[in-house]
Amino acid sequence: MKKTLLILGVIVLVLVIGYATFLLLSNKKTLEQTPVPVESTATSGTASSSSSQTIPPEVIQVRTEIDKKIMDGVIPTEVTPDPASLLVDEFPKREAPSMITDYSTEYSKDSHSFFISLYKFPLEETRLRAEKYLLQKLGITEKEACALDVTVKVNMSISATLAGQDLGLSFCPGSVDLSAYTENTDGVGSY
């Protein structure tokens, strides 16, 4: 009798462990297929805002692939004075520290974000050029670029009106129209 109870107990224990393992594995598959909710501070093409959003798996895949290419050196970058940032693109190449470029594109290793700074008027043309070379350098489409965390900005010396805003990529939803910014009319600098 004791032997029978012991055998039944072992069988029940094996069934319970097997069922629990099945539940855990099926839950893991569901989690892997479910979009991941994240806290976002900026979304390409929109003004900066802090909102909880769900990032679809294909967006995470694009971001992960670009990050890997940059970190593996497949996408060439240059060091910057900020150790957490890499220069992805700059036009024209700065030959002297005092030289002003049309735009620069940096990649933040910490936030896995791109920052495009515009320095030359007309701003719309400069942004289009920066976007073109970003797409070429990363080997991505406009749709994929909109999935990345890209911030486009100008500083106060370029435009006091636009400074502090995320101007977005021109082809992404919510981007700021820059066609009226053909010259420096409200910036504190003289570029």
Per-residue confidence (pLDDT) for residue 14, from 0 to 100: 57
* Contact by Cβ (8 Å): 168, 114: no
- pTM for the full model? 0.67
* Contact by Cβ (8 Å): 156, 188: yes
Distance between CA 129 and CA 133 in Å, rounded? Answer: 6
- Cα-Cα-Cα-Cα torsion 36, 171, 135, 42, nearest 10 degrees, comes to -40
Residues ≥6 apart with Cβ < 8 Å to 39: 50, 52
Per-residue confidence (pLDDT) for residue 17, from 0 to 100: 64
**pLDDT class for 184, splitting at 50, 70, 90?**
confident
